[in-house]
């Protein structure tokens, strides 16, 4: 039983990343009708916003310490972060410690800007083009973005830890009445799940309770009729692209303590996120979120030793298996609108 | 080009004053298909014009062209509404210029309540009738204002579609098959509404399969046959002319 | 064949896909009238450095390339110093015949190719360097899948392959080739070196849970560690294969604490290692207790890059390395050559070399020296010169290039992640060095069975 709960927790926190990325993808597809294969790259850029802020905060000047020697036998050069000079060592350490959550504020404007530039600079020329063209150009863009990041940051993963208050794990089992030490789960992963739930909630609240959101929902449902009512939906959709980019970026920012970010992480998530969108139903926001968590949980269960013993290799193919089954039996996805992608 | 088209060739355009709506030599395509093949007609302010013809004649295409939707494309011709060059505008600009299309199949927006559908119409200027006034005109909408728009009956959806158009301060109302699939008693109600707003000064073009009903409501009629105009005159004339009706309307 | 080495990118694949080397049949255009492939006729000779320049190991490949360039400088006598040429000795105590005037008087040039850490790309790149650039020796690489593939290609082509960083048994085991030579240690040696240290540190009554990367290196490492730890009394509770492309290992880590095991062995390298170790520490494994003992994690193969990527998570974790830049400082002159190389590399590049850099540098020198001793570039002559060759002063202590399998036998370094590293180049501390006798195995050992060296191929 505890093994099951452990895997459900794990599925939820994995699924959080999938759900957030799929949410952004569906927003873009539902509004602009664009299949955006660069969305994983947006996730990656968000993660590197956290890396960048960390690097900025740890910008140091060198101080030569004559009492110690470096590997060549010369006097050791120490790196002293500027924040130490500005705020003192303790405060400086605290600031650096909290760089990941602080990166949220840094990432939002950056991601919106990146999203808007992407949309106005490249994607808008492909609205009327067939999906295959869109896939090619956005995929190419993803590769370019990935190589740019690799140029500046190298190919190696860059560890960017969570605030020390949230590192490590705690006894989740004890919280829900199990024996001690049966269900231990890392703090930060639960924080990530809560964060994702908040963002998802905020997006839905925005769409449901604001006028702008109502216009966007109307435009997603029937773009032509919204035009008949005098509304220039394109302007609003561009803003939605920025919003979707911000959602993907925030998913990336908070993800960095879970796995050290590297230039390739966008691609790693991209394929799965598209499977999520297809399974959930292209154009359905609740479907994307639901499918994200569902597939995360499925993936977790499929990597359980007991399951692999019964069906070897299931952990590698489960997601694609589910996608194939859905595509064959119910192509519009779990919650997709009838007729979308049916052909 | 700002020169107003010359309609003196057409026998019915006797006036020297410019018409409220002028369509001049309009050619519309759906991709490669050539649907509306060079039509010209006028509508005067306060008139109801019935746009008639057999299936496939190009009636809906004409309305959609005037509304400046993405499909069909108007590749040649001009459309002037109250001195504004609609042919240079996109659909939302045309709507702001005073055009209101009530599309075939109503197009009530899913996921929005009755009230939200109406509020949506009032986001862009110019704002027309207030929601209260619309609920007076269509009491059944008032009763269901918090209900999801797509759950309304066919007749109620038609009323909502018209109310949505009136929620904007429009100069020209385009109705595409407003009576389709509706019970005769509902059709009566809608016809009453249309007469009412005509009295308020609305200019209307109505496309309708039920040609007789439309002709009884309209002042003038234009008949289309495979993309060209074959008749442009008074509605009464069509009602009286049996051979005309038989040939182009099959009634 | 196009000159650019960036071939098609797998559209929906992520990086680090090694897989078993796909043995595509290659057809080599026969060169006319030379005794062997790419016989150097002018006054230069070209070496081919096939390293990952793109993909997840690009940083390690860059370090390998730095080492190669340094080696070429030293061979040509154009470097700021002579690096290991000063310390390189033969078994009889005499110094290397390399004089810093090239190889056999010919100036050393090089071309570099991009393996992308993919077997097919690596083969294509090697083929291009051999056919179009006239490379007479191919070296470098960061993956066993790639090494095995490129080794096979070099055998067909008739050039020598001096392996770079490859750790799987197979490279000098079931996939060994006569034209190929490996200096880097292998999985068996890691197992043999680690087992006594693990027993001493953690006791002989341990239950191990293995997470293994699903490709040849993972399998041989798991096999080696299991064999050597089970021999000293450990029990293997579970061994789970993880996909090479996995990024989030949490679903594999989560069940470990309740599995009855008290040691987690991560048979992972590179990106896999960075992520699995990070996840393991995240889940509190380092702080946990099981079976009344403190839970421990073991990483059979360390790499400096991975240590950097995993950050503070490596603290206290035991593992093995082929070499470490601190060897001579800590353990003395047995490992002479280390400081010469570190000084030379550090002065030129500003930071100490990784073990990948070290093995590549050493392989280049070994090749050049073998050619000088053989008096010819002909592959079979070089093979004869390297087989059974004993040498010293290249940083690992006395080393033998065994004739039966073309594998170097030397001491193995056991390291542990530092609790408080001073900087990013000082992340591991040396625990002890296991003497070469304890890591040597018979040529027909079962972990290496299934292949045959064959005979050397001169090509042409």
pLDDT tens string C131-151: 999 999 999 998 899 999 999
Contact between A293 and A12 (Cβ < 8 Å): yes
10 Å CB burial of residue B145 (0-12, 13-18, 19+) is middle
Rg of chain C (C-alpha set): 21
Compute the residue count for chain B: 251
Indicate the residue of B103, B111, B168 with minimum beta-carbon distance to A217. B111
**CA dihedral of residues A34, A38, A39, A40 (deg, nearest 10):** 150
Taking each helix axis as running N to C, give the angle between helix A39-57 and helix A265-280, from 0 to 180 degrees, rounded to the nearest 10.
140
Residues of C in contact with A62 (CB under 8 A): none
Report the pLDDT averaged over residues A183-210. Answer: 92
What is the second-level CATH architecture of the domain A2-329?
A: Orthogonal Bundle (1.10)
pLDDT score for A341: 47
The answer to whether residue C85 scores a pLDDT higher than 70 is yes
Average pLDDT of chain C to the nearest whole number: 88
Interface test with C, best of A155, A186, A252, A306 (most C CBs within 10 A): A155
- Number of A to C CB contacts under 8 A, please give it: 134
Indicate the residue of A10, A161, A181 with minimum beta-carbon distance to C254. A10
Q: Which residue of B has its CA nearest to A284?
A: B111
3-class DSSP state for residue C176? coil
Instruction: Report residue A338's pLDDT band, with 50, 70 and 90 as the boundaries.
Output: low
**Inter-chain residue contact A186 with C252, CB threshold 8 Å:** no
Q: Do chains C and B touch (3 or more CB pairs under 8 A)?
A: no
- Residue C448 belongs to some domain of the structure: no
Q: Which residue of C has its CA nearest to A72?
A: C343
Q: What's the token pair of residue C207? A: 């239950």
Nearest to C416 by CA among C292, C346, C330, C342: C330
Task: Match 């470990």 to its residue by tokens.
Answer: C256
- The per-residue pLDDT for range C193-235, each reduced to its tens digit, is 999 999 999 998 999 999 999 988 899 999 999 999 999 999 9
Q: What's the token pair of residue C329? A: 């400082």
Minimal C-alpha gap between A12 and chain C (Å):
11
Task: List all chains that touch chain A, counting a touch as 3 or more CB pairs closer than 8 Å.
Answer: B, C
Contacts of C333 (CB under 8 A, 6+ apart): none
Contacts of A179 (CB under 8 A, 6+ apart): A173
Minimal C-alpha gap between C219 and chain A (Å):
15
Average pLDDT of chain B to the nearest whole number: 88
Instruction: Report residue A208's pLDDT band, with 50, 70 and 90 as the boundaries.
Output: very high
Interface test with A, best of C213, C244, C282, C312 (most A CBs within 10 A): C282
Greater model confidence, C25 or A225: A225
Report the pLDDT averaged over residues B119-133. Answer: 92
Domain identity same for C336 and C317: no
**Inter-chain residue contact B123 with A215, CB threshold 8 Å:** yes
Q: What is the DSSP string of A222-288?
A: -HHHHHHTT--HHHHHHHHHHHHHHHHHHHHHHHTTTS---TTHHHHHHHHHHHHHHHH-TT-HHHH
Provide the percentage of residues in chain A whose pLDDT is more than 90.
41
Q: What's the token pair of residue C241? A: 């294969």
What is the DSSP-derived secondary structure letter of residue C10? P
**Inter-chain residue contact A227 with B121, CB threshold 8 Å:** no
Minimal C-alpha gap between C78 and chain A (Å):
21
The answer to whether residue A33 scores a pLDDT higher than 60 is yes
Indicate the residue of A159, A188, A315 with minimum beta-carbon distance to C243. A315
**Inter-chain residue contact A159 with C313, CB threshold 8 Å:** yes
pLDDT score for B15: 46
Minimal C-alpha gap between C332 and chain A (Å):
15
pLDDT score for C233: 92
CB count within 10 Å of CB B98 equals 20
Contacts of A334 (CB under 8 A, 6+ apart): A279, A280, A281, A284, A287, A290, A291, A326
Indicate the residue of B92, B103, B168 with minimum beta-carbon distance to A232. B92
pTM of the predicted protein model: 0.82
**Inter-chain residue contact B119 with A232, CB threshold 8 Å:** no
Compute the residue count for chain C: 460
The answer to whether residue C319 scores a pLDDT higher than 90 is yes
Interface test with C, best of A55, A68, A140, A156 (most C CBs within 10 A): A156
Rounded to a whole number of angstroms, the distance between the first and last alpha carbons of chain C is 20
**Inter-chain residue contact A214 with B112, CB threshold 8 Å:** yes
* H or E element at residue C158: none
Domain identity same for C432 and C365: no
Contact between B175 and B204 (Cβ < 8 Å): yes
Residues of C in contact with A188 (CB under 8 A): 282
CB count within 10 Å of CB B23 equals 27
Residues of A in contact with C305 (CB under 8 A): 156
Contacts of B110 (CB under 8 A, 6+ apart): A221, A222, B148, B149, B150
Q: What's the token pair of residue C33? A: 């009238």
Q: Do chains C and A touch (3 or more CB pairs under 8 A)?
A: yes
**Inter-chain residue contact A221 with B116, CB threshold 8 Å:** no
- Residue C457 belongs to some domain of the structure: no
Residues of A in contact with B91 (CB under 8 A): 224, 227-228
d(CA C12, CA C290): 41
Report the pLDDT averaged over residues C307-326. Answer: 91
Helix then strand then coil, % of chain C, to nearest 5: 35, 20, 45
Minimal C-alpha gap between A5 and chain C (Å):
10
d(CA A174, CA A2): 11
Domain extents for chain A?
A: 2-329
3-class DSSP state for residue C272? helix
Nearest to C358 by CA among C399, C388, C386, C319: C399
The answer to whether residue B10 scores a pLDDT higher than 60 is no
pLDDT score for C7: 35
- The per-residue pLDDT for range C25-41, each reduced to its tens digit, is 455 655 555 678 888 88
pLDDT score for C23: 43
**Inter-chain residue contact C426 with A71, CB threshold 8 Å:** yes
Residues of B in contact with A232 (CB under 8 A): 90, 92, 124
Minimal C-alpha gap between A221 and chain C (Å):
31
Residues of A in contact with B164 (CB under 8 A): 229
Q: What is the CATH number of the domain that holds C232?
A: 3.40.50.2300
The answer to whether residue B76 scores a pLDDT higher than 80 is yes
Greater model confidence, C15 or C384: C384
Q: Which residue of C has its CA nearest to A69?
A: C422
For C445, what's the count of Cα atoms within 13 Å in the CB-facing half-sphere?
Answer: 20
CB count within 10 Å of CB C243 equals 17
Q: Do chains B and A touch (3 or more CB pairs under 8 A)?
A: yes
Give the domain extent around C138.
13-185+332-410
Phi, psi of C392 (to 5 degrees): -155, 175
Of A50-54, C12-16, C98-102, C373-377, the least confident: C12-16
Minimal C-alpha gap between B8 and chain A (Å):
33
The answer to whether residue B1 scores a pLDDT higher than 90 is no
Indicate the residue of C9, C56, C245 with minimum beta-carbon distance to A262. C56
How many domains, chain C? 2
Indicate the residue of C241, C247, C422 with minimum beta-carbon distance to A268. C247
pLDDT score for A124: 85
**Inter-chain residue contact A227 with B120, CB threshold 8 Å:** no
- Residue C453 belongs to some domain of the structure: no
d(CA A23, CA C348): 49
Minimal C-alpha gap between B128 and chain A (Å):
12
Minimal C-alpha gap between A274 and chain B (Å):
25
Instruction: Report residue B248's pLDDT band, with 50, 70 and 90 as the boundaries.
Output: confident
Q: Which residue of B has its CA nearest to A222?
A: B109
**Inter-chain residue contact A230 with B67, CB threshold 8 Å:** no
Contacts of A330 (CB under 8 A, 6+ apart): none
The whole-angstrom distance between residue B54's C-alpha and the CA centroid of its chain comes to 17
For C160, what's the count of Cα atoms within 13 Å in the CB-facing half-sphere?
Answer: 28
Domain identity same for C179 and C215: no
Q: Which residue of C has its CA nearest to A189?
A: C282
Instruction: Report residue A171's pLDDT band, with 50, 70 and 90 as the boundaries.
Output: confident
ipTM: 0.87
**Inter-chain residue contact A155 with C313, CB threshold 8 Å:** no
Phi, psi of C236 (to 5 degrees): -95, 110
Domain identity same for C398 and C432: no
**Inter-chain residue contact A217 with B125, CB threshold 8 Å:** no
Strand ranges (E), chain A: 60-69, 75-81, 169-171, 184-186
Domain identity same for C174 and C94: yes
Phi, psi of C369 (to 5 degrees): -60, -40
Q: Which residue of C has its CA nearest to A182?
A: C258
Task: List all chains that touch chain C, counting a touch as 3 or more CB pairs closer than 8 Å.
Answer: A
**Inter-chain residue contact B101 with A218, CB threshold 8 Å:** no
3-class DSSP state for residue C184? coil
3-class DSSP state for residue C348? helix
d(CA C294, CA C262): 7
**Inter-chain residue contact A265 with C247, CB threshold 8 Å:** yes
- Residue C456 belongs to some domain of the structure: no
The answer to whether residue A7 scores a pLDDT higher than 60 is yes
- Give per-residue burial for A191-210: e unless 16+ CB within 10 Å, then b: bbbebbbebbeebeeebeee
What is the DSSP-derived secondary structure letter of residue B171? S
- Number of A to B CB contacts under 8 A, please give it: 69
Domain identity same for C243 and C364: no
d(CA C61, CA A261): 19
Taking each helix axis as running N to C, give the angle between helix B114-121 and helix A211-221, from 0 to 180 degrees, rounded to the nearest 10.
100
Q: Which CA distances in Å does A137 have to A132, A187, A323, C258, C270?
A: 9, 39, 24, 47, 31
**CA dihedral of residues B149, B150, B151, B157 (deg, nearest 10):** 70
Greater model confidence, C75 or B209: C75
Minimal C-alpha gap between B93 and chain A (Å):
6
Average pLDDT of chain A to the nearest whole number: 87
Of A263-272, C6-15, C182-191, the least confident: C6-15
Minimal C-alpha gap between A93 and chain C (Å):
16
Instruction: Report residue A74's pLDDT band, with 50, 70 and 90 as the boundaries.
Output: confident
Longest dimension (CA), chain C: 72
Instruction: Report residue A70's pLDDT band, with 50, 70 and 90 as the boundaries.
Output: confident
User: Highest mean pLDDT: which of A43-52, A216-225, C282-291?
Assistant: A43-52
Report the pLDDT averaged over residues C270-290. Answer: 89
pLDDT score for B16: 42
């Amino acid at each position: 039983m505890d093994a099951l709960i452990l895997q459900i927790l794990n599925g939820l926190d994995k699924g959080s990343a999938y759900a957030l990325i799929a949410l952004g993808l569906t927003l873009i597809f539902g509004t602009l009708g664009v299949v955006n294969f660069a969305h994983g790259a947006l996730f990656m850029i968000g993660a590197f916003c956290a890396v960048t802020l960390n690097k900025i905060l740890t910008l140091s000047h060198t101080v030569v310490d004559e009492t110690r020697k470096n590997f060549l036998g010369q006097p050791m050069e120490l790196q002293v972060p500027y924040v130490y000079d500005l705020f003192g060592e303790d405060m400086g350490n605290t600031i650096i410690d909290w760089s990941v959550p602080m990166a949220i504020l840094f990432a939002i404007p950056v991601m919106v800007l990146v999203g808007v530039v992407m949309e106005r600079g490249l994607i808008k020329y492909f609205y009327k083009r067939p999906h295959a063209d869109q896939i090619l150009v956005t995929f190419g863009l993803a590769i370019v973005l990935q190589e740019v990041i690799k140029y500046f940051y190298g190919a190696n993963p860059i560890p960017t830890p969570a605030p020390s208050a949230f590192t490590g794990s705690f006894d989740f089992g004890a919280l829900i009445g199990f024996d001690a030490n049966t269900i231990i789960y890392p703090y930060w992963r639960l924080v990530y799940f809560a964060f994702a739930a908040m963002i998802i909630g905020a997006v839905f609240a925005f769409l449901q309770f604001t006028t702008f959101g109502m216009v966007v929902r109307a435009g997603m449902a029937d773009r032509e009729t919204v035009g008949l009512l005098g509304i220039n939906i394109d302007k609003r959709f561009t803003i939605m692209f920025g919003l979707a980019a911000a959602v993907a970026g925030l998913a990336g920012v908070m993800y960095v303590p879970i796995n050290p970010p590297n230039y390739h992480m966008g691609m790693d998530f991209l394929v799965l996120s598209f499977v999520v969108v297809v399974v959930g139903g292209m154009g359905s926001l609740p479907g994307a979120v639901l499918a994200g968590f569902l597939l995360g949980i499925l993936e977790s269960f499929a990597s359980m030793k007991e399951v692999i013993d019964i069906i070897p290799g299931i952990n590698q193919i489960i997601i694609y298996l589910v996608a194939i089954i859905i595509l064959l039996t119910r192509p519009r996805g779990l919650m997709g609108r009838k007729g979308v992608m049916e052909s | 080009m700002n020169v107003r088209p010359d309609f003196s060739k057409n026998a019915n355009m006797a006036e020297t004053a410019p018409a409220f709506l002028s369509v001049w030599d309009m050619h519309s395509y759906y991709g490669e298909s050539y649907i509306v093949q060079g039509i010209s007609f006028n509508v005067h302010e306060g008139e109801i014009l019935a746009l008639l013809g057999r299936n496939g004649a190009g009636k809906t295409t004409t309305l959609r062209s005037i509304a400046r939707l993405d499909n069909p494309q108007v590749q040649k011709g001009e459309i002037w509404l109250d001195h504004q060059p609609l042919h240079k505008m996109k659909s939302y600009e045309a709507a702001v210029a005073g055009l209101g299309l009530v599309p075939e199949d109503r197009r009530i927006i899913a996921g929005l309540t009755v009230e939200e559908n109406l509020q949506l119409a009032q986001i862009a200027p110019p704002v027309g009738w207030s929601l209260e006034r619309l609920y007076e005109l269509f009491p059944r909408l008032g009763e269901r204002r918090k209900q999801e728009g797509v759950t309304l009956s066919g007749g109620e959806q038609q009323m909502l579609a018209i109310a949505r158009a009136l929620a904007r301060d429009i100069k020209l109302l385009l109705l595409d098959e407003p009576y389709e699939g509706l019970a005769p008693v509902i059709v009566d109600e809608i016809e009453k509404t249309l007469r009412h707003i005509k009295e308020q000064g609305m200019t209307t073009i109505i496309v309708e399969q039920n040609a007789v009903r439309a002709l009884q409501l309209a002042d003038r009629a234009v008949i289309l046959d495979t993309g060209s105009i074959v008749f442009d005159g008074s509605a009464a004339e069509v009602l009286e002319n049996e051979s005309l009706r038989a040939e182009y309307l099959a009634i | 064949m196009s000159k650019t080495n960036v071939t098609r990118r797998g559209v929906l694949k992520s990086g680090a896909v090694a897989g078993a080397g796909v043995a595509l049949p290659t057809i080599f255009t026969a060169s006319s009238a030379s005794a062997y492939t790419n016989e150097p006729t002018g006054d230069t000779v070209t070496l081919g450095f096939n390293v990952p320049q793109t993909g997840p190991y690009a940083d390690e490949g860059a370090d390998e390339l730095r080492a190669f360039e340094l080696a070429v400088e030293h061979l040509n006598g154009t470097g700021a110093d002579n690096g290991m040429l000063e310390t390189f000795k033969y078994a009889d105590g005499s110094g290397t015949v390399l004089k810093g005037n090239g190889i056999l008087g010919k100036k050393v040039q090089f071309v570099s190719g991009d393996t992308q850490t993919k077997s097919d790309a690596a083969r294509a790149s090697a083929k291009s360097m051999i056919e179009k650039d006239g490379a007479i020796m191919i070296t470098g690489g960061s993956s066993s899948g790639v090494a095995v593939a490129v080794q096979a290609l070099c055998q067909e082509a008739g050039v020598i392959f001096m392996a770079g960083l490859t750790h799987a048994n197979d490279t000098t085991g079931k996939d060994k080739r006569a034209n190929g030579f490996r200096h880097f240690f292998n999985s068996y040696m890691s197992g043999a070196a680690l087992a006594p240290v693990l027993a001493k540190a953690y006791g002989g009554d341990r239950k191990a849970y293995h997470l293994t990367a699903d490709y040849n290196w993972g399998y041989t490492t798991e096999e080696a560690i299991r064999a050597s730890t089970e021999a000293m009394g450990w029990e293997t509770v579970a061994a789970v294969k993880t996909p090479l492309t996995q990024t989030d290992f949490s679903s594999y880590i989560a069940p470990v604490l309740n599995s009855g095991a008290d040691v987690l062995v991560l048979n992972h390298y590179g990106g896999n290692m960075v992520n699995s170790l990070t996840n393991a520490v995240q889940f509190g494994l380092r702080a946990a207790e099981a079976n009344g003992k403190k839970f421990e994690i073991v990483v059979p193969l360390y790499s400096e890059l991975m240590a950097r990527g995993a950050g503070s998570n490596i603290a206290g974790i035991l593992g093995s390395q082929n070499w470490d830049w601190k060897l001579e400082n800590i353990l003395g002159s047995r490992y002479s050559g280390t400081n010469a190389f570190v000084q030379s590399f550090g002065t030129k590049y500003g930071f100490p070399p990784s073990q990948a850099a070290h093995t590549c540098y050493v392989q280049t020198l070994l090749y050049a020296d073998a050619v000088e001793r053989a008096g010819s570039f002909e592959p079979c002559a070089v093979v004869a010169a390297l087989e059974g060759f004993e040498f010293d002063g290249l940083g690992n202590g006395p080393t033998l290039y065994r004739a039966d399998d073309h594998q170097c036998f030397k001491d193995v370094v056991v390291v542990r992640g530092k609790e408080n590293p001073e900087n990013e180049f000082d992340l591991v501390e040396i625990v002890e060095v296991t003497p070469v006798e304890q890591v040597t195995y018979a040529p027909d050992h079962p972990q290496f069975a299934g292949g045959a060296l064959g005979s050397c191929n001169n090509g042409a």
